[in-house]
Amino acid sequence: MTLTTRSLAAFTLSLAVTAGCTPMGPDDTGATTEDTDDTTAGETNGESTTSSSGATDPTADATGSSGNSSGATDSTGGDSSTSIASETDPTVSTSSATSSTSDSQGETDPTDPTTGGVMGCEDALEPITDLKNALAVRWGDIPEEMTTGNSSSTTGGDGLDPDTILVTLANNTYNTCQDPFGIGDCNGALLWKVDFVLPPEYQQPGLYTLDELNGGQFATGPNGDIPDDCWFGGGSLSGWVLIESIDDDKVVGRLCGTEVFEDYDPDGSFEAPRCN
């Protein structure tokens, strides 16, 4: 198999989890900071692909095509007694920010399913198209040589808590619990994988940016009509992930507003079984 680089100059995709990150919870009343990573695209055989940066607001009424639109924010007003109201707060919509004036903060808590359900990614209820493989593996259970020396890793590994959970979603079966960074021949087809990590403080229902969870993407496909002549590439993944539930058996959630550099769409719902 001949591989030619299409996106990144170096195939290793770096991940750095900031030690000071804290999950968005019911007491967060400030604006959510959206860090935008440019998804990098290179050239193959004279053809280049580019992508826009920034995640789109998952609660806005108007939605665009994944990977084609830059980030936008909703301007939401509201009564001062509203527990969560911010111009960039992805967990509230205009209607919820202006109408929720209850004295009970729990009634509008977007991270507590018992108080009205986790909100966000409302347009991503359907399962991810062409999803064939989903898994969630504890970082400390991955062999060290895979997290530090494998060029296919999109996550790096330095400084991650061993109890961090790596979630991978792919349209192929090369990724396994034993090798969550596995890649293989494209065999004349477009193969893709996206992943993100959930440090212990994020292992609860809530809406998070893929930037803060170090989202990554990888894809490979054929060069022209030669099945075993494959390009490959990857980079960071911007967008949102809604964690609906997490337990010892599986991670349930949705991706929305993702920006990818190839013609695939990872937006939608997923269930990732835990590797035991």
pLDDT digit string, tens, across residues 251-264: 999 999 999 998 99
Asked whether residue 131 falls in the same domain as residue 115, the answer is no
- pLDDT tens string 138-165: 999 998 888 764 434 455 455 899 999 9
- Is 99 inside any structural domain? yes
Asked whether residue 107 falls in the same domain as residue 147, the answer is no
Asked whether residue 152 falls in the same domain as residue 92, the answer is no
- pLDDT tens string 54-77: 444 444 443 333 333 333 334 334
- pLDDT tens string 35-44: 434 433 333 3
Asked whether residue 233 falls in the same domain as residue 180, the answer is yes
Query: What band does 187 get if pLDDT is binned at 50, 70 and 90?
Result: confident
Query: By percentage, how much of the chain surpasses pLDDT 90?
Result: 43
- Is 4 inside any structural domain? no
Asked whether residue 95 falls in the same domain as residue 193, the answer is no
Number of domains in the chain: 2
- Is 155 inside any structural domain? yes
Which of 261, 215, 263, 257 is CA-nearest to residue 72?
A: 257
Angstrom distances, CA of residue 179 to CA of 7, 140, 173, 187: 23, 13, 11, 20
Asked whether residue 94 falls in the same domain as residue 214, the answer is no
Q: Would you say the pTM of this structure is higher than 0.85?
A: no
Domain with 107, as residue range(s), is: 55-61+69-119
Asked whether residue 171 falls in the same domain as residue 255, the answer is yes
Asked whether residue 208 falls in the same domain as residue 165, the answer is yes
- Is 28 inside any structural domain? no
Other CB atoms within a 10 A radius of the CB of residue 127 amount to 13
- What are 145-150's contacts with CB under 8 Å, separation 24+? 146/179, 146/180, 146/181, 150/181
Query: What band does 272 get if pLDDT is binned at 50, 70 and 90?
Result: very high
- Is 232 inside any structural domain? yes
Asked whether residue 132 falls in the same domain as residue 185, the answer is yes
Find the farthest-apart pair of alpha carbons in the chain and give their distance in angstroms, rounded.
64
**Tell me, what amino acid is at 119?**
M
Q: Which residues contact 20 (CB under 8 A, 6 or more apart)?
A: none
Least confident interval from 39-48, 165-174, 192-201:
39-48
Asked whether residue 136 falls in the same domain as residue 104, the answer is no
Q: What is the pLDDT of residue 20?
A: 38
- Is 23 inside any structural domain? no
